[in-house]
């Protein structure tokens, strides 16, 4: 059995619960934990079970992408049986269209499956085991891709996906604290072999870049987490501004009113509008081209046509429209 939950982990879970969960003492809905079988999710499950005894359920998603998938599921079964925690296992079939990221597709399927199981369990939230090192890696990964503020915001401590609340209570906890606790307690967990595959950019950041940075700047993980928090705050303000501007120019946007805004606000509004309409933000090149076409569109004869995600932005009358699947 695990030793007492370390204060950093306990305080992280407690703080998250106080901020984001209902405080009704009669609430009996389960709190779900996304359980991969790895150290982080195992530690989170143990901490959640200590905080909400009898109310915790675990959800394991089997992507079927690795030969060790059955081993992961078996480890989760054994752990939950020992803790007397209900375990739901959902298998997902990941389809990756040509040119798409397998990692992104697997992540999208995973969240959808977690949300489905959470709704079936009537869970109040699904907790995820991402920690401070994961957050730092995500910020560095965003920097390598030239991401804007939404990318630099990295992972929020809460988000809504598919109508389900997802939470990350361990974002202030170092990965080493988690592993030291499990090792000292004799609690076993599985190691995902793909986490050491240096073909993946994130793994190169984890095993090469971040250790080098930390040797030179010992507080770099905390610093990058602070950067993510500042970026998230700024992103929230830009979202509010985009909402206000969209209310002024209309949805879909009216060209003349859109052109009356400064270019930076046009970009912010169009990024927000397309994220809703297309389900994906435009690339920097796509957005720059769209802004240029909008600026040139001064007569009835000027058309607009640019591919974004799986569709196109086009001019229809005096407004922009997004047509999917073109």
Judge if 50 and 183 occupy the same domain: yes
Residue-level pLDDT at 151: 92
**pLDDT by residue (tens digit) across 34-76?**
999 999 999 999 999 999 999 999 999 987 666 678 889 999 9
User: Which residue, chain included where needed, has tokens 């930076």?
Assistant: 264
Give 109 or 255, the one with higher predicted confidence.
Answer: 255
Contacts of range 305-314, beta carbons closer than 8 Å, 24 or more positions apart: 308/274, 308/278, 308/280, 308/282, 309/274, 309/278, 309/279, 309/280, 309/282, 310/278, 311/278, 313/274
Judge if 192 and 105 occupy the same domain: yes
Judge if 197 and 273 occupy the same domain: no
Three state DSSP letters for the chain: CCCCCCHHHHHHHHHHHHHHCCCCCCCCCCEEEECCCCHHHHHHHHHHHHHCCCCEEEEEEECCCCCCHHHHHHHHHHHHHHHCCEEEEEECCCCCCCCCCHHHHHHHHHHHHHHHHHHHHCCCEEECCCCHHHHHHHHHHHHHCCCCHHHHCCCCCEEEECCEEEECCCCCCCHHHHHHHHHHHCCCCCCCHHHHCCCCHHHHHHHHHHHHHHHHCCCHHHHHHHHHHHHHHHHHHHHHHHHHHHHHHCCCCEHHHHHCCCHHHHHHHHHHHHHHHHCCCCCHHHHHHHHHHHHHCCCCCCCCEEEECCEEEEEECCEEEEEECC
Judge if 137 and 13 occupy the same domain: yes
**pLDDT by residue (tens digit) across 271-325?**
999 998 877 788 899 999 999 999 999 888 889 999 887 789 999 999 999 998 7
Q: Among 175, 198, 220, give the residue marking a domain's end.
A: 220
Judge if 176 and 101 occupy the same domain: yes
Judge if 136 and 279 occupy the same domain: no
203 is a domain residue: yes
Contacts for 264 with CB less than 8 Å, ≥ 6 apart: none
Phi then psi dihedrals of residue 2, to 5 deg: -70, 150
Q: Give dist(CA 209, CA 312) in Å, integer.
A: 38
Judge if 187 and 263 occupy the same domain: no
Radius of gyration in angstroms for the set of CA atoms belonging to the chain, rounded to a whole number: 22
243 is a domain residue: no
Residue-level pLDDT at 92: 81
Residue-level pLDDT at 308: 86
**pLDDT by residue (tens digit) across 177-232?**
999 999 999 999 999 888 889 988 999 999 999 999 999 999 999 999 999 999 99
Judge if 196 and 90 occupy the same domain: yes
The answer to whether residues 321 and 311 touch, using CB atoms and an 8 Å cutoff, is no
1 is a domain residue: no
CA 25-54-122 angle, 5° bins? 70
CA 108-120-65 angle, 5° bins? 35
Judge if 160 and 299 occupy the same domain: no
Domains contained in the chain, number:
2
Judge if 135 and 272 occupy the same domain: no
CATH number (domain holding residue 53): 3.40.50.620
274 is a domain residue: yes
Biggest alpha carbon–alpha carbon distance for the chain: 74
In the chain, what percentage of residues exceed pLDDT 90? 77
37 is a domain residue: yes
Q: Which structural domain, as residue segments, surrounds residue 306? A: 250-324
176 is a domain residue: yes
- With 0-12 / 13-18 / 19 or more C-beta atoms within 10 angstroms meaning exposed / middle / buried, residue 6 is middle
Judge if 299 and 189 occupy the same domain: no
């Amino acid at each position: 059995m695990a030793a007492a939950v370390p204060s950093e982990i306990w305080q992280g879970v407690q703080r998250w619960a106080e901020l984001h969960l209902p405080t009704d003492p009669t609430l009996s809905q389960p709190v779900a934990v996304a359980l991969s079988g790895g150290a982080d999710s195992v530690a989170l499950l143990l901490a959640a079970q200590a905080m909400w005894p009898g109310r915790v359920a675990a959800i394991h998603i089997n992507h079927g992408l690795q030969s060790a998938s059955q081993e992961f599921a078996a480890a989760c079964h054994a752990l939950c049986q020992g803790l007397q925690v209900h375990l739901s296992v959902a298998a997902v079939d990941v389809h990756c269209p040509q040119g798409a990221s397998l990692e992104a597709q697997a992540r999208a399927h995973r969240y959808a499956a977690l949300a489905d199981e959470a709704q079936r369990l009537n869970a109040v939230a699904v907790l995820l085991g991402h920690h401070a090192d994961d957050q730092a890696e995500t910020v560095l990964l965003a920097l390598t891709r030239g991401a804007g503020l939404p990318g630099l915001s990295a992972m929020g401590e809460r988000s809504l996906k598919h109508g389900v609340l997802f939470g990350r209570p361990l974002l202030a906890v170092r990965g080493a604290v988690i592993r030291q606790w499990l090792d000292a307690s004799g609690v076993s967990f599985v190691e995902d072999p793909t986490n050491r595959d240096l073909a993946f950019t994130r793994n190169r950041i984890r095993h090469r870049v971040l250790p080098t940075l930390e040797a030179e700047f010992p507080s770099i993980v905390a610093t990058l987490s602070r950067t993510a928090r500042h970026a998230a705050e700024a992103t929230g303000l830009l979202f509010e501004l985009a909402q206000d501007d969209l209310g002024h120019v209309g949805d879909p946007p009216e060209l003349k009113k859109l052109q009356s805004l400064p270019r930076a606000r046009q970009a912010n509004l169009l990024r927000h509008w397309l994220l809703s309409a297309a389900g994906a933000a435009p690339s920097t090149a796509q957005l720059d081209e769209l802004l240029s076409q909008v600026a040139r569109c001064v007569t009835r004869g000027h058309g607009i046509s640019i591919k974004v995600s799986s569709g196109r932005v086009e001019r229809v009358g005096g407004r922009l429209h997004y047509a999917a699947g073109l």
